[in-house]
Chains A and B, each alone.
Chain A
C-alpha cells in the first residue's frame, strides 16, 4: 500500500471575480436577511417578557402612575402577596378543577375514538375529517355558539332537557358547578379531536407485523394492547397531553365568552386579566404571570422527562 493514492486535491478552480463582494461573507449575508425578523421578535416577545419581569418587582399601576420610570421598587412584595393571598390559591384550585378533568376526558375520548378508528372501514376518511371540525373553529366563535346553546331560557340544551325529556332546566352558565361543567364540555368538544388525531397517527405507526407476531404467539387482545400498542403510542400521547395541559392551563377566551369569568369559572388567566385590567395592578399582575409561568414550565418539564424516559427505553 502506498500513501500516494490518498494525496488530497490541492488545486481548486479560482472563483470568478464577477459581482462577488469580498467583504460580504455568507454569514453576514444570512445575518442581514434574518435581522428584521429577529428584531421584531425581540421587540414583541423578548422585550415584554423582560420588562414585565422588571414590573413584577415594582408597584407600578398602569392607570395611576404617570410613567413606569417612576414605579416604586418593592422587591418580592408582589410575589409574597400573590402567594399568601388565599384568593389566588382558590384560583389555582379552580384552574386545576378545570384542567385535570378536561385533559383527562379529552385523552380518554380522543384515544378511545382513535382505537375504534384504527382499522379499515367504509367512510373512514370522511368521518375522520368530520370529527376534526371542532378543532378548526376559532375558540371565540365556538364559545359564542355554546353560550347560545347553554342559554337557560332559550338555549337548545335546556329545550332538550326540559321540553323534550321533561327534566328540570339547568342554569348552565350561572350556577357555580354547572358553569365549570359547561366550560369542561365545550373545551372537551373542541379539543378531543386533537388527541384523536395524535393518537391515530401513533396507532398507524405501529408496525402491523408486531401484531401478527403476537397473534402467532397466542397473545390476547388485552395483552397486545398492553404490551405492543400502549408502549409504542405512549410517547406521542404524552406530547399531546403536554400540548393540551399547557393550552387548558392558559385558557382565557372560552371562559371569558361563556361566563365572563363568573362564579365557578374564574380560572387563573381570567383572574390575571381582572387584576391587570380591572384593578390595573400591573406589578402584581406581572408577578402572578411569572408564578404561572414557573408552574407550567415545571409541569411541562416533568412530562418531557417522562417522554425522554420512554424514548430511552427503546434504545
Chain B
C-alpha cells in the first residue's frame, strides 16, 4: 500500500505526444479514476506507473521515492489488463496462483491464498477451468484474482470492465468498489466510461489528448467542470452549450443570434465579467437543469420538440430554440409529441459559463 505521484510525466511515441506534462498525486488507499476518450493517454500513463513503459520526461514516485530505475517486478504493483492477459493453457487456479508460484510459497499456502481470493470474487467453483471455458465476466474476475492474490503496493487497472456487457459492467462497478474497501489499498483505475469514473472514484482525473484537464471528487467534476471538455465529457447526456454574449448594462445574457435574452444571476454575472471578451461566451446547461412546460411561463423561451427519446425511466427531448438544439431530460411521465410547442426554462442557478476563446469555465 503506497501513494503514487506523477511529476511532469511526458511520453512520446515518435512524433505523437501520448502523455504531456502530467502531474497527479494519488494518496495511499485512495481510489483514483483516470477518465478520458480513446487515445487520451490513459493507458500509457498507467503503463508508465507499472514500469511497462519508460517515460521520456518526468518522474513516477511511490511513497515519494523515484522508481524510474525500478523494474516492473520490483515495483510490486498489480496490473489488470483490458484484455485480461490470462495465461491460456493454465486453469483459473493456476492463473491466480501464478504470482505466488514465482515467489516460492509452499503448495498449501498457495492453495489457501488462491481459495481465499476466489471466494472473495465468487469464482471458487470455476477454479479448474481454463480461460477459454470461462465467460468474459468470469475471465475478468480471474484476472482480478491474479492481481489480488498477493498484497501489492497498488492496483493498476486498465479499462477492466470495457469488454463486459452493460449489465455485468454495472454489477462489477459496485463489486470493484466493495473489493477496494475490503482490500483497503490504492487503486489507480483507467476508463473511458464517465459513469465508471463517477460511481467508483474517490477522485477523478479527466485526461484528453495527453493533457490533464481537471482533478477532483466526482461531485466537483460534475458540478464544477473546469472547462468545456470536462463539461461535455462528464454526464450521461451531454451538457447543452449555447453561444451567448453578456450585456453589462442590462446584466443579461443574449443568445448569439439575438433570439433570446435571459437575466443573469449574480454568480454568472461575476463570471462573465472575468472574461476578456464577454461578448463571446458559452452558456452550459445540463439536460436535467432544463424545464419543459406546455404552458407559456414568465421568462420562458419558446421551443419546439424536434426528437423525442423515451428511455423507460426518463425521457430525453431535443428541443429547437431558434437555430439551437437543446437536450432536455424529463421524467418518464412527461409525454410530448414531436413538433409540440413548448416553453423552455433554464435553471440558471445551476448553469455554467465558459469563455469561448480559452474554453475555461468562468463560474
Contact = CB atoms under 8 A, between A and B. Distances in A.
The residue in A213, A214, A223, A231 that gathers the most chain B C-beta atoms within 10 A of its C-beta is A213
B134 to A, nearest CB: 12
B108 interface: no
A312 B132 CA distance: 11
Interface of B: 50-52, 71-74, 76-79, 81, 83, 85, 87-90, 98-99, 101-103, 130, 132-133, 146
A212 B146 CA distance: 14
A215 interface: yes
B81 A209 contact: yes
B89 A219 contact: no
Contact of B98 (A219, A314, A315): A219
A24 to B, nearest CB: 47
A218 B87 contact: no
Given A209-B81, A209-B85, A212-B52, A217 B98 contact: yes
Contact of A232 (B51, B74, B89): B89
Contacts of B87: 210, 213, 227-228
> Considering residues A212, A228, A231, which has the most beta carbons from chain B within 10 angstroms of its beta carbon?
A212
Contacts of A314: 88-89, 130, 132
Nearest to A315: B132
A217 B89 contact: no
Interface residue SS majority, chain A: helix
A216 interface: yes
Contact of A209 (B78, B83, B89, B102): B83
Interface of A: 207, 209-210, 212-220, 223, 227-228, 231-232, 313-315
A150 B335 CA distance: 95
B101 to A, nearest CB: 8
A216 B89 contact: no
B60 to A, nearest CB: 14
A213 B79 contact: yes
Given A218-B73, A227-B90, A314-B130, A212 B98 contact: no
A315 B133 contact: yes
Contacts of B85: 207, 209-210, 212-213
A218 B81 contact: no
Given A209-B81, A227-B87, A314-B88, 12 more contacts: A207-B85, A210-B85, A210-B87, A213-B146, A215-B71, A216-B50, A216-B72, A219-B73, A219-B99, A314-B89, A315-B130, A315-B133
Contacts of B74: 218
Contact of A220 (B72, B77, B102, B133): B102
Contacts of B81: 209, 212-213
A213 to B, nearest CB: 4
A218 B130 contact: no
Nearest to A216: B79
A215 B51 CA distance: 9
A216 B102 contact: no
A209 B90 CA distance: 16
